[in-house]
Amino acid sequence: MTKQKIIEATLDLACEKGLGRISMQQIADRVSLKKSSLYSHFKSKEEIIEGVYVYIRENAKQQTGNTDVDYGKYVEGRSLSEILTGVVASYRNMGATSDMNRFFAMIMAERTFDQLAAQIMVEETRKMITATKNLFYAISAKGIAHFDNPDGAAITFAMSVHSILDHESDSHHAGSDDADGEMDLFIEEFCRVYGKKGV
């Protein structure tokens, strides 16, 4: 239970002050521990932040039902458009959970000058690309779409979705509707290029 309290307190502090501006002493004070006791749970601030990332990601997956997916079963009986729309909605919903939203808003704001924030973004992007590759292998195996290079198509799709989601977030914060409909247009064009007729 203490580890969970440390993780939750660190998330709160990081969102209040910024990732680079929190110290082990501040974390210890927040959870009413001696600094030496904090080190018995985590070796460094970086290890705590990694713990925060793992914790909130797993919680978000549980809250949205995005637990380990059998991609072969997931794609069965669905069109390419239905599959891609569904996975984008799942990823969007996972990112919209309260803690995940707060954490990634802070990470994205700091990734250009904080190495740890950049490392977390790289890890999250890697997870997204790996999941998309596994999905695309299942899509290919079921004959739902044809990819000459499934890995390349998966990277193209994942990174395009990543960019569109960023644009949606920026547009929302700017009070603009510039990104409205972009994801639908992208999925429609992706299906036109890779989908099999009648599927």
CATH number (domain holding residue 23): 1.10.357.10
199, part of any domain: no
Please answer whether residues 196 and 143 qualify as being in contact, where contact means their C-beta atoms are separated by less than 8 angstroms: yes
CA-wise closest residue to 118 among 42, 49, 17, 166: 49
How confident is residue 198, by pLDDT bands cut at 50, 70 and 90? very low
% of residues, the chain, pLDDT over 70: 96
Residue 193 in this model has a pLDDT that exceeds 90:
yes
115, part of any domain: yes
75, part of any domain: yes
* Structure confidence at residue 199 (pLDDT): 43
Number of domains in the chain: 1
86, part of any domain: yes
Quote the domain boundaries for residue 48: 2-194
Across residues 138-155, what is the average pLDDT? 95
* Structure confidence at residue 99 (pLDDT): 83
CA-wise closest residue to 93 among 62, 125, 50: 62
Higher per-residue pLDDT: 65 or 114: 114
How confident is residue 195, by pLDDT bands cut at 50, 70 and 90? confident
* Structure confidence at residue 67 (pLDDT): 67
How confident is residue 169, by pLDDT bands cut at 50, 70 and 90? confident
The average confidence (pLDDT) of the chain is 89
20-35: per-residue pLDDT in tens? Answer: 888 999 999 999 999 9
Higher per-residue pLDDT: 108 or 66: 108
CA-wise closest residue to 13 among 47, 49, 62, 56: 49
How confident is residue 66, by pLDDT bands cut at 50, 70 and 90? low
CA-wise closest residue to 109 among 23, 19, 7, 11: 19
169, part of any domain: yes
* Structure confidence at residue 28 (pLDDT): 93
Beta-strand (E) ranges in 111-153?
none
d(CA 46, CA 5): 16
